A and B are shown apart, each in its own frame.
Chain A
């Protein structure tokens, strides 16, 4: 296990290194280079040269990359072009809010998808399974913002149950104390996950129901609910954990749209605003932080999965 964690940690470091490489490449694709981005179109060539020299952009690329890598690893993402703030501070303020949004959405999705998936697996091939599959696919196929729009129309305008505006508070406490505002963004973000998770769980449970050990238990006289509880769900748990690990980047992508739609003050909105104003340090900083969060998330998911499974948990001769 220790060895496994070591190897996975090393892999994660390599992955983050490659991420930095990609982001570095993108930085150098900025039209006119970072200098134009900061100094604007009116800057003279002299000003640009001076800026490039001061920032080290005239050094050989490998040297620049080394310096950039050092900055990224220490959390120094530079200054925003637009706002008079360090990118690191902006991200540090927004990241927890996005994590709250996606965390709550994931929780909600699991609460709905697990029973749904199990139900479908047990009723496989019957009318109820087909109908739910169909609903699932439609949910998956609906663009997040279209769904959000429909939800706002129904649950904020026709039946004014929730607010169409996300909580705008500056702190996490303020955000969490506005459930009416939080409800629609969370439900919208959870919808796609419900579709994917329940589909995944359905096939995992079907697979497990056909395992030999389930047949063995059935031959011992176990009832179907007992089999599900004791033998199938436990084994599907590992599948759920790895599924969440895989889903982290998709969830961030969804957050980008949901935050923009409901004006929720998270990383997605920060990113979108930065894109509108070509604020490259913020764009790349956010990309880097999200990539690191994803890598760490899947690392944790993998380790958790191995901890659940006795085959990989410990080795006793």
Chain B
């Protein structure tokens, strides 16, 4: 599209050129008849195609997102800005958000993953926060051939190369495998920043005459109109979409970040607003800044935009998604002060325009006005669709009967379970991430939640990412509740109480009523759990049209939760600590197998109606664990999730290579059930009475930790018997073997 003659306004109308950019006939009509009252030119159509894409406008998801629970006394900034902020005391706030890079990663895994990391980092530091941790939530198909292995290794290498270089530790995340993600993997990145709340910045451009300053890398022809690409469905032809993917340069991002934080920390008086140039590049950042300031107009001279390539058109300059770029609004007269800061950091920065009176968004190129549209029409006034919702036929038809697993030799079933890629250790992935830089990582990847200390304070935050798409596939509402609940269990098990969540809503095509139903129901379920757990949604991202050849992924709303540990003494890990400690399971176990790992392992799919989930009971159990940790009663705590109770017990033995000798009146099958609201905890003998009084009938004593390196569990009908190091090697070795 770069060098070809651009279509005239009449050709755009007659040949429906806008369709190729992702706009519908209806949307074109809106622009022509309701907004401009004239024929839009090629550049203007480009602006709208980017800004009215789902990625920028949330046009399909906005009505759904309004259902999120976003309140809370600690919330400083909720959804709407680059990222949300939560007060953690001492004048400090945590800033966090997650972002998906599914589509770019599918066509170019390495660069897709790097630019995902880069984008979310910019969202965080544009709020005035220094990024202190990132996490990755990855979903892949089952590994079948070398191409799959290559693909996964490239995504992991991309995350590793960017995150390591910029010096932000990758402290956790989650990885799961299912054929539902075979041709549409999920690459979701969450980043957490720490800030002084006084330094809070907003992405607004106000005050006529103030300067618009472009910061960072030159603009090239990469990722042109990537936002509308990312908002479209994939098909077998997607190889040709490679040019829509951007290329990352973490070194440049590091310089840009240090420059921006320097301006925010030390030149606050000069700065009006700051925003990342992410999806839809320059148009999105500038129009949103104008719109957020109450519909402020601006005039940009595109000849001043630093350019990497010759002969770029206005369309290309505005819609390029070249990475490592930021846009600042700086007070008139203070331009040189800010430009000097960036020069000192070795970062390119130029004034490219001014805020104007009125609300016209005007672009000049080669001395001519190439676009003139009302600023709000690009951003605040983008169309919103209330999509039709219809329960998918499969949900109605599913059998209420629970799957009955085959567990004739429990030890063998356990061995097989520990080697499932979703269950197995992800060490060979996270070993390639720098998990410790900034020296605050108290608990790194592989635990329920990562724990990152707040420097010079006796407190830490716990961070986790979770979602089990299989549960949502069987019941999007309850599965949505479970996703938040599991994230809650993870932060609670590490000694924290929940502060809030961010999310990446990964779903199919919202124009299909059954896909929209999944989105709508999942959000309602998540919101219900957020309210009960007092963990509001403060930011998020929507990734729709995750389909390949018309088949959608499992509905997968990734939940990223942050919790606060208000005393470092409360940091708790899943590892059993010493022989003779008592091992309990908190919560009740049922015959809950539909959607479970064992159902998939034994039948190759998940089916049936999802088992029941009681949110109030979940809250009760989580509060008990919080209380027990606050009272210093627990030596370890581990949430029970995929693979069931036996997997949690096995994982608890690995860290310190301690054994267990347990007896239970559950059947061996039930040890693989995925009933929610459960924890495995260990307690010293001296705390036994106090703990049992606290938990009453909600915990069952299973037995004791031993020194003999043996995992032994007597069940009602059989037994598990396995050497701990053998279980550990099976669990640890499975993924390297699959990915070799």
Q: Do A and B bind each other?
A: no
Please report B residues at the A interface, Cβ cutoff 8 Å.
none
Please report A residues at the B interface, Cβ cutoff 8 Å.
none
